[in-house]
Amino acid sequence: MTAPVKGWLRSGNHWQGAITLPVLLVVAFLVLLPVVFLLEESLNTGDPMAFPPQQYGLANYAAMLEEDLQVIVNTVVIAVTATMMAVVIGFTLAWILTRTNVPGRDRLERLMQLPYYMTPLVGALAWAVLASPKSGFFNQMWRWAGGEGDLFNIYSMFGIAWIMALFEGTVAFVMISAAMKSMDPALEESARVIGASKLRTALTVTLPLVMPGVLGATLFVFAEMLGSFAAALVIGIPARVYVITTAIWDSTLSYPPAYGRASAMGLALFVVMFAMLSGYRWMVARGSFATITGKAFRPRTMDMGRLAWPLFAVCALYIVLAVALPLAALLLTSLERFATALLSQAQFTLANYEMALALGPVRTALANSLLLGLGVATVGVLVMALLVWIIYRSEMVGRGAVEYLVMFPQAVPRLVFGLALLWAWLNMPIPIYGTLWLLALAYFTVMLPIGVRTLAGVVLQVDKSLEECARVCGAGWLYQLRTISLPLLKPGVIAAWLLIFMASVRELGVSVFLMGPNAKVIAPSIVGAFASSGIELTAAMALIQTFTVVVALMILFRLTRGMTRELT
C-alpha cells in the first residue's frame, strides 16, 4: 500500500483553471477577434483603409440593397436551384442505396464520398473543360456529330448551380441516408402487420419519419450553397454572374479596396447562414427526428426485381458525371497541347506537367501547400487533442465555452472568415501578414471544428472506465496517458491528421485573401492559372493537387477500414 501524502486538497481544480483560462483566451483571440474586426470595418463609412475607422455608419449595409440587388437575386436563385438539385439527387441516391437491393450497394456507397473529395474547384475546372460553349468537349462532339451551335453552356446560373450541387451537395446524400438508416425497420413492419399496403406504409410511416431529415438536410445544404465560393469564382466571373461571395472577393480587388463594403456583405451572409444553421440545429434538438435512436439499423431492403439494374445505372450515372467524366476530361486536357475531345486532332505532350512542376511560382505554391498541410496537421492535432481533452474529459469550469468557441468557425462562411482574418491581421501589430505563418494560423483556426470533432468522436468511443481502471491499478495521470489513452486514440489521431492535411492542401476561401506574393499556395494559384494561362496547364495543376489529396485519402480509407475491423 502506497503512503498517501498529506493534504492533497482539491488542488486539482487550481491548476486545471490555470490551463483552461489561457486556452479559452487564445481560442477566443483566434476565433472571435477577426469577426470583431470585421464588424467594426463594416460600419466604417470613412476611408476604408483607415484603422480604427474615422466615421461610423450603416452606409455599407444600405449600399448592398441599392447597388447589389442583382447580386442578392443571383445568390438566392443559384442557391435555391443548387439546393433543389442536391436534395433530389441526395434523396434518390440515399433511397436507392439504403432501401433497395441495388447490386454492388456497399461499393457504390463508398464511391459516393468521392465527389466531395474532388473539391468544387477541381469540379468547376473540369466542367469548364466539358461544357463551355464552342471549345467544351460536349459541344465539340455535338458539332463533330453534325449538330449546330452549342448543346451546353456551363457559363450560366444553371451551370454554377449544377457544379455546386454535384460537388458540394454530397452532404445532402449523407444526411438523408443517415436519417433513412437510423429508422427502426420495426416501425414499418408493424404497419405492414396491422394490414397496411406497401404504398400506404411508405406514405403514412416512412415518409413522415424521413421528412424531418430531408428538411434538415435542405436547410443545411441551402446555407452551404449561400456561402459557396469556388464554382462561383471559376465559372461565375467569366460568365459575369456575380453572387455574394464573388462580390465580396471582387470588392477587395478594386482600388482602393472596398473593405467596408466587403465586410458588410460578409457579415450579412454570416448572419443569414447562422440563422439557417441555428434553425437546422433547433430542428434536430427539438427531437422531431423520432427516427433517430442512436442506433444504426440496416433497414429491410425492397426487392426491386428487374428494376434493380436501372437503379444501379442511376447511381453509376452520378459517379460518371461527378467523378469519372471530370477526371477524364482534366486528364485528357492536361496531356494535350490544345484541349480537344477529338482524339484524331489531339497532340499529346507532357509539357503541361513539366511546366507545372518547373514553373517557379507553381512549384513554390505546391511546396508551400504541402509544408502548410504537414505543419498545420501535426501541430494542430496536438493542440486539438488538448482541447478535446479539456472539453470532453476534464471537469474544468468553462469547458462549455471552449467547445462553443472551437465550433464557431463552422458557422462562418470560409470566405468571410478569410476576409475577417485579412482585415484583422493587416491591422494587428504582429507583422505576419503575407507570410506562411498567417496562413498556418488561419488554417488552424478554420480547421478547429473538423479536427476537434474527429478527435472527439474517437475520444467518446473510448470508454471512460478504460482510463479509470488504469488509475485504480495505481497508474499516475501521465503514466495512464502514455500507456492507455494515447495508444487507444492513435487511429483517431492519424485520421484527424490526414483530414486536416487534405483540407489544408485544398483550402481556397481563406487562402485567396491571405496569400502573399512570397507565400503562394496551390488552390488560389490554380484559379490564377485558369484566369491567365491556358486550361491545359490549369488541368495539370488541378490533377497534381487532386493526386496529393487522393493519396492521403487512400491511406485514410485503409486506416478506417482497419479500425472498424479491429473494433468488431
Partner 1 sequence: MSDSASRIVVSDLSIRYGEVTAVNGVSFEVGRGEHVTLLGPSGCGKTTTLRAIAGLEQPAIGTISIDGEVMYDAIERRNVPTEHRGVSMVFQSYAVWPHMTVLGNVAYGLRVRKLASSELSAKVERALDLVQMRHLADRPASKLSGGQQQRVALARAIAFSPTVVLFDEPLSNLDAKLRAEMRLELRELQRQLGITSVYVTHDQEEALAISDRVIVMNVGVIEQIGTPEQIYNRPRNRFVADFVGSANLIRGRVGKPLANGGTIEFMADGGHVLRATAPHALRGGETEVAVRTAYIEIGKTADANQVPGTVRRRMFHGDFVQYVIDCPLGQLIVRRPPTNLVAEGEDIELSFSPEHCILLEG
| 482 lies in the binding site for partner 1 (CB under 8 A) | no
Q: Concatenated DSSP letters for 375-396?
A: HHHHHHHHHHHHHHIIIII---
Show Cβ contacts of residue 505 under 8 Å, excluding neighbours closer than 6 positions. 369, 370, 373, 522, 545, 548, 549, 552
Nearest to 244 by CA among 216, 273, 278: 273
Instruction: Name which of 273 and 484 has its Cβ closer to partner 1.
Output: 484
Rounded least distance, CB 485 to partner 1, Å: 10
Show Cβ contacts of residue 308 under 8 Å, excluding neighbours closer than 6 positions. 100, 101, 102, 103
Instruction: Name which of 193 and 478 has its Cβ closer to partner 1.
Output: 478
| 562 lies in the binding site for partner 1 (CB under 8 A) | no
Instruction: Name which of 476 and 516 has its Cβ closer to partner 1.
Output: 476
Q: For residue 66, how many other CB atoms are within 10 A of its CB?
A: 8
Instruction: Name which of 12 and 52 has its Cβ closer to partner 1.
Output: 12
Question: Per CB under 8 A, which region of 101-109, 297-305, 329-337, 464-472 contacts partner 1?
Answer: 464-472
Q: What grid cell was written down for 145?
A: 456529330
| 484 lies in the binding site for partner 1 (CB under 8 A) | yes
Binding-site size for partner 1 (CB under 8 A) equals 29
Window 424-463: contact mask with partner 1 (x via CB under 8 A): ---------------------------------------x
d(CA 444, CA 518): 20
Question: Per CB under 8 A, which region of 30-38, 195-203, 399-407, 470-478 contacts partner 1?
Answer: 470-478
| 493 lies in the binding site for partner 1 (CB under 8 A) | no
Per DSSP, what are the bridge partners of residue 302?
A: 100
| 360 lies in the binding site for partner 1 (CB under 8 A) | no
Window 189-208: contact mask with partner 1 (x via CB under 8 A): --------------------
Window 1-30: contact mask with partner 1 (x via CB under 8 A): xxxxxxxxxx--------------------
Helices vs. strands in the chain: H and E counts, helices first: 31, 0
Per DSSP, what are the bridge partners of residue 20?
A: none
Q: For residue 467, how many other CB atoms are within 10 A of its CB?
A: 17
d(CA 556, CA 562): 10
Interacting positions 266-305 with partner 1 (CB under 8 A):
none
| 478 lies in the binding site for partner 1 (CB under 8 A) | no
Q: Concatenated DSSP letters for 248-297?
A: HHHHTTSSS--HHHHHHHHHHHHHHHHHHHHHHHHHHHTT--TT--SPPP
Residue choice 147, 185, 310, 487 for contact with partner 1 (CB under 8 A):
487
Residue choice 134, 471, 482, 561 for contact with partner 1 (CB under 8 A):
471
Q: What grid cell was written down for 243?
A: 453572387
Q: Is 449 exposed, middle or buried (0-12, 13-18, 19+ CB in 10 A)?
A: middle
Rounded least distance, CB 405 to partner 1, Å: 23
Compute the residue count for the chain: 568
Residue choice 114, 488, 544, 555 for contact with partner 1 (CB under 8 A):
488
Point out which residues bind partner 1 (CB under 8 A).
Answer: 1-10, 463, 465-466, 468-476, 479, 483-484, 487-488, 566-567
